[in-house]
Amino acid sequence: MKIDNSFFINYKKTSIQLFQDILYKNDRGGFDEQALPAYTNPNPLMRYLFWQRVKFSMEYISDLENCDLCMDFGCGFGVMIPFLMNKSTNIIAVDLDTSMLQEIGKEQKWTNVRYSQRIDDLTKYNGRVDLILAMDVLEHIQDINGTLESFKRLISPHGSILITGPTENLLYKIGRKIAHYSGDYHRTNIYNIADELSRFFTISHYKTLFPVIKFFEIYIAKIKI
């Protein structure tokens, strides 16, 4: 389902304002891996490229019929959470440090969001999660197999896993410098992640951002039948 353009523009504007405020109050480089420099980049092309992956992800999620429980793995500062709140009755936000996100949640009056710093602490949700988001996070994970095993344990029989990640090609690396990232923390690329995914799930390619440049790829994974 196509996302209404006016809705998306307003959603993006609200998020950018929040992220710019966080960056203004903190040291440069402290939130690179939450993607704040890319979401707020003053270069309109770079900002457009990065936000398009959010828009494509929203369009996929909009078409899901059963989405009672969602997990945003590596949620950062929750760019997807307000959208998920309109789609799902329960959301689990997972990241190494959710303290600032919880403060945002209080300010924004989020009522159906739970927070966790460890995916291993979520065993009570085994087989119940209808959607797992892993947007530009798995390339940072050292134990990728262990994480995917946790996804397999948590996902419901009809559930979907949406994965986005960088291609790590030359143009992507140039774009990363333009976006003012201060380091290079990626352990792998989206193609290697897709190969690992195929060991656990049936995967399908959803979108390329963008076909000529190939900055990011989006894959969908489901339990093997």
**104-141 pLDDT tens trace:** 999 999 989 999 999 999 999 999 999 999 999 998 89
Q: Provide the pLDDT for residue 127.
A: 97
Supply the CATH classification number for the domain 5-223.
Answer: 3.40.50.150
Strand partners, 133: 72, 162
User: What's the rounded mean pLDDT across residues 54-76?
Assistant: 94
Q: What is the pLDDT of residue 212?
A: 75
Can you tell me the mean pLDDT for 17-35?
74
pLDDT the model gives residue 211 = 76
Mean pLDDT, to the nearest integer, of 66-92? Answer: 94
pLDDT single digits (tens) 184-211: 556 688 899 999 999 999 999 999 987 7
Which of 17-21, 27-31, 35-39, 179-183 ranks highest by mean pLDDT?
17-21
Mean pLDDT, the chain, as a whole number? 87
Better pLDDT: 53 or 173: 53
Q: Are the C-beta atoms of 165 and 120 separated by less than 8 Å?
A: no
Encode pLDDT of 141-163 as tens digits.
989 999 999 999 999 999 999 99
Tokens representing 108 are: 């924004």
